[in-house]
């Protein structure tokens, strides 16, 4: 299993882009990069996932480096409601293993 | 509305008294899973199921049982709860990728906060 490394915490100003990094240097060819977030003690919420190419949806963008050893989740215009723990997970198929994640605090 | 529901949401019980936490999804998903979340330990998978009558152990299965008799339901059973099973529990479901190149996101329930005294 590819392990991930994320900073434990980050701050971001409201309205600015939040860029959350994730290192996954041991990722293998069939492993996807997933991002989830958990607001307070609610159930984790899926954000985005990708394999090789950059991805964008209504919530965020995912930038994966060409060697696939790291990725960045971008929230283009962070709001106070984006304050949460963000998890980067690298797994094949459906089996998810959550690490400690990054606690993002969006400040007014 | 597509959702995963769990019941009860909160439960306080005593050591040794059998309990069941129900999980149900209305999205016709093949894959279902149970996690527990503890401070400093993150989310850890207890059991998962790839389809009806197919279940498998996750990372922390000791003290838990599950069953998958119907596609929509995946109850978590604690036959003899102990205080170390005090935790926040999440059920999740997703479609099952039929091909290695495809994968799907998991949908999580709202959580069940269990306290065993």
Task: Say what the pLDDT of residue B100 is.
Answer: 53
| pLDDT at residue number A60 | 97
Mean pLDDT of B101-106: 68
A87 neighbors A40 (Cβ within 8 angstroms): no
B→A interface, C-beta within 8 Å: 4, 31, 33, 35, 37, 42-45, 48, 59, 88, 90, 92, 94, 96-97, 100-101, 103-111, 113
Taking only residues 11 to 50 of chain A, the set having a beta carbon closer than 8 angstroms to any beta carbon of chain B reads: 30, 32, 34, 36, 41-46, 49
Is residue A2 left, alpha or beta, with left meaning phi > 0 and alpha meaning psi from -120 to 50? Answer: beta
- Determine which helix (DSSP H) or strand (DSSP E) holds A61, and give its type and residue range: strand A61-64
Query: For residues B77 and A96, which has the higher predicted lDDT (pLDDT)?
Result: B77
Residue pLDDT, tens place only, B7-29: 999 999 999 999 999 999 999 99
Contact B85, B78 (CB under 8 A): yes
Highest mean pLDDT among A28-42, A57-71, A88-102, B32-46: A57-71
Q: How far is A61 from chain B (nearest CA, A)?
A: 16
Of B45, B90, B107, the CB nearest to A97: B45
**Nearest CA-CA distance, residue A37 and chain B, Å:** 11
Query: Considering only CB atoms, which chain A residues are within 8 Å of B2?
Result: none
Confidence (pLDDT) at B53? 92
Q: Residue B8, preceding bond cis, omega within 30 degrees?
A: yes
Contacting residues of A for B109, CB less than 8 Å apart: 43
Under 8 Å CB pairs connecting chains A and B tally to 59
Q: Which of A32, A41, A95 sits opposite B111 (nearest CB)?
A: A41
- pLDDT-derived band at A42 (thresholds 50, 70, 90) equals very high
Q: Rounded distance, CA B106 to CA A50, Å?
A: 14
Q: What is the reported pLDDT for B97?
A: 63
Residue bearing tokens 């209305």: B26
How far, in Å, are A93, B69, B76 from residue B97 at the CA level? 6, 21, 24
Taking Cα atoms as reference points, which of B95, B6, B90, B102 lies closest to residue B51?
B95
Residue B15 has φ and ψ, to the nearest 5°, of -55, 130
B94 interaction partners in chain A (CB closer than 8 Å) = 94
Whether B19 contacts B13, CB under 8 Å: yes
């Amino acid at each position: 299993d590819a392990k991930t490394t994320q900073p434990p915490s980050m701050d971001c100003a409201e309205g600015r882009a939040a860029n959350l990094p994730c290192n996954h240097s041991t990722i293998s060819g069939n492993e996807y990069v997933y991002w989830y977030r958990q607001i307070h003690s609610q159930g984790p919420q899926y954000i985005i996932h990708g394999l090789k190419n950059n991805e964008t949806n209504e919530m965020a963008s995912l930038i994966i480096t060409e060697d696939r050893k790291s990725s960045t989740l971008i929230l283009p215009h962070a709001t106070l409601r984006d304050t949460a723990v963000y998890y980067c997970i690298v797994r094949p198929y459906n089996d998810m293993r959550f690490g400690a994640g990054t606690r993002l605090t969006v400040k007014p | 509305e597509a959702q995963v529901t769990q019941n009860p949401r909160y439960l306080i019980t005593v050591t040794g008294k059998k309990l069941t936490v129900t999980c149900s999804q209305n999205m016709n998903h093949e894959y279902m899973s149970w996690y527990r979340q503890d401070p400093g330990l993150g989310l850890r998978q207890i059991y998962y199921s790839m389809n009806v009558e197919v279940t498998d152990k996750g990372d922390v299965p000791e003290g838990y049982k599950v069953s998958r008799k119907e596609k929509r339901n995946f109850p978590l059973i604690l036959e003899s709860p102990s205080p170390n099973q005090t935790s926040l529990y999440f059920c999740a479901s997703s479609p099952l990728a039929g091909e290695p190149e495809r994968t799907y996101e998991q949908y999580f329930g709202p959580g069940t906060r269990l306290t065993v005294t």
